[in-house]
Amino acid sequence: MGTEIRRCGYVAIVGRPNVGKSTLLNHLLGQKISITSRKPQTTRHQVLGIKTEANRQIIFVDTPGLHQAADKAINRYMNRAATNALRDVDVVVFVVDRTAWTDEDRMVLDRVKATGLPTVLVVNKVDLLSDKSLLLPHLRQLEEQGDFAAIVPLSALRHHNVDALEREITRFLPESEYFFPEEQITDRSQRFLAAEIVREKIMRQLGDELPYAITVEIEEFSSEDGILHISALIFVERKGQKRILIGEKGARLRSIGTDARRDMELLFGSQVMLRLWVKVKTGWSDDERALRSLGYDDV
């Protein structure tokens, strides 16, 4: 009996900020590894999500949104992370939001075209379209924008048509042995995922007041008697931001901690003791050296 052919390859998920790339990755994996919020630029790092089933291993690369404003060091870092993801992949999934088409979408498309890679265009959030009759003419217009291998309208959040996307991707995966063990779902450490969960909860609760002035560093991550002990240090840029984050008598910080601990216990399958601290580190987001010390050094 001959063994069945295995396929394995890398797939970059790209698009401008806030089109639903991380939500799509989480639904493709059936597990949350990439943080999401309604704020653009929630994703700051490349994150690999690994899905192994039916004789194929798809290695998804979730990327920060490509954006035109690159005035701060952290914005330049995010654009580098997204652009580098396009270098070593087999397929590109280019995500756009419903019938919107912006200058930033055009910029992403130009970068994707320059790779010459097979590209599947995903039109996300179609469940939110109030007038569904607009979709078909829009898809025809998109078809003219580039030579796409396929166009897949879907709703990542509702998991509608996500299987169709996987089928299109599989067509372009090379025959290969798997690159990762079958049970592995991400290349990121538990420490990294813990820090990202804390950052997500802050973005969700305080996105309008503290848009991008925070980052999180895990100081302790240890296990004792089946309980994970995690200490997270939250950096802000100004004293006023620290006050907002802590809240009246520490209420806001406690609320963030409760939400984060719940997600961590689901992800790590263990009871979690979480401690949060807040510290002011002026200008960290526009300081290359500070960024490297905070873990923004993987591109």
Asked if the structure places residue 46 within a domain, the reply is yes
Domain edge (last residue) among 115, 140, 170:
170
- Looking at the fold, whether 215 and 154 belong to one and the same domain comes out as no
| pLDDT tens track for 164-206 | 999 999 999 999 999 999 988 888 888 888 988 898 898 888 8
Q: Distance between CA atoms of 227 and 236, rounded to whole angstroms?
A: 29
The tens digit of pLDDT for each residue in 215-274 reads 888 999 999 999 999 999 998 888 888 999 999 999 999 999 999 999 999 888 999 999
Instruction: Report, in angstroms and rounded to the nearest whole number, the Rg of the chain calculated over CA atoms.
Output: 20
Which of 227, 201, 230 shows the shortest CA–CA distance to 217? 230
At residue 20, does pLDDT exceed 90? no
Averaged pLDDT of the chain: 83
Q: Is residue 278 part of a domain?
A: yes
Q: Is residue 175 part of a domain?
A: no
Q: What is the mean pLDDT of residues 267-292?
A: 80
Higher pLDDT, 63 or 88: 88
Q: Are 184 and 29 in contact (CB under 8 A)?
A: no
CATH code for the domain in which residue 247 is found = 3.30.300.20
Residues 251 and 108 in one domain: no
> Residue written as tokens 């263990």?
270
Mean pLDDT, residues 8-35: 83
With vertex at residue 50, the alpha carbon angle to CA 106 and CA 154, rounded to the nearest 5 degrees, is 45
Q: Is residue 215 part of a domain?
A: yes
The answer as to whether 104 is a domain residue is yes
Average of per-residue pLDDT across 46-54: 85
Do residues 20 and 135 both lie within one domain?
yes
pTM of this structure: 0.73
Same domain? For 201 and 236 the reply is yes
- 183 domain residue, yes or no: no
Domain that holds residue 268: 190-293
Lowest mean pLDDT of 78-87, 104-113, 252-261, 275-284, name the range.
78-87
The residue count for the chain: 299
Q: Do β-strands 56-62 and 47-53 pair in parallel, antiparallel, or remain unpaired?
A: antiparallel
Check which CATH number belongs to the domain holding 70 and give it: 3.40.50.300
Tell me how far apart the alpha carbons of residues 33 and 3 are, in angstroms, rounded to a whole number. Answer: 32
